[in-house]
Amino acid sequence: MLEHVAFYSDHDRGFLIDRRTGDLYRLNATGVLILKSIRSGESPSRIVAELCKEYQVAPEQAEDDFETFMERLRDRGIIQ
């Protein structure tokens, strides 16, 4: 995440705050899991595997959900 973004989480809920704009983004449990994993240095393939395990979804669905989430973060300037 870029340094102008703050991430807060409480179990299965989370928030991202863009300090430049004041925009607040709410995260569901899946978003929190992905962001915590990214911050821990997990690889995309490991995050997809965790999504499969946690939510009992097919790898293709987990990968699509992961990529969609990452694209949204890039579009909003949260990550590069």
11: domain CATH number is 1.10.10
Tens of pLDDT, residue by residue over 10-38, are 988 999 999 999 999 999 999 999 999 99
Scanning 1-80, the segments in alpha helix (DSSP H) are 29-39, 44-55, 59-75
- Taking residue 67's Cβ as centre, other Cβ atoms within 10 Å add up to 12
State the Cα angle at 37 between 32 and 43, rounded to 5°.
Answer: 140
Across the strands, what pairs with 13? 10
Residue 42 lies in a domain: yes
Q: Is 37 a member of any domain?
A: yes
- Per-residue confidence (pLDDT) for residue 8, from 0 to 100: 96
Q: Could you tell me if residue 10 is inside a domain?
A: yes
Distance separating alpha carbons of residues 64 and 4, to the nearest angstrom: 27
State the residue range of the domain holding 17: 5-75
| Mean pLDDT score across all residues of the chain | 95
Residue 80 lies in a domain: no
Indicate the number of domains in the chain.
Answer: 1
In a domain, 56, yes or no: yes
pLDDT of res. 39: 92
Angle at alpha carbon of residue 17, lines to 11 and 18, rounded to 5°: 150
